[in-house]
């Protein structure tokens, strides 16, 4: 996942609207 995608989907992540696979990928990107 790129930083651009993270910024675009940050609201969905915070609201818990991402599917489980995307949420895991999102969290891995934030940890990096």
Long-range contacts of 8-11 (CB under 8 A, 24+ apart): none
Q: What is residue 16's predicted lDDT score, i.e. its pLDDT? A: 95
Q: What is residue 19's predicted lDDT score, i.e. its pLDDT? A: 96
The sign of the CA dihedral 19, 24, 25, 31 is positive
3-29 mean pLDDT: 94
20-31 mean pLDDT: 94
pLDDT band at 1 (very low <50, low <70, confident <90, very high): confident
Q: What is the pTM of this model?
A: 0.73
6-29 mean pLDDT: 95
């Amino acid at each position: 996942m790129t930083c651009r995608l993270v910024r675009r989907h940050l609201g969905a992540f915070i609201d818990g609207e991402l599917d489980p696979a995307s949420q895991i990928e999102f969290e891995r990107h934030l940890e990096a």
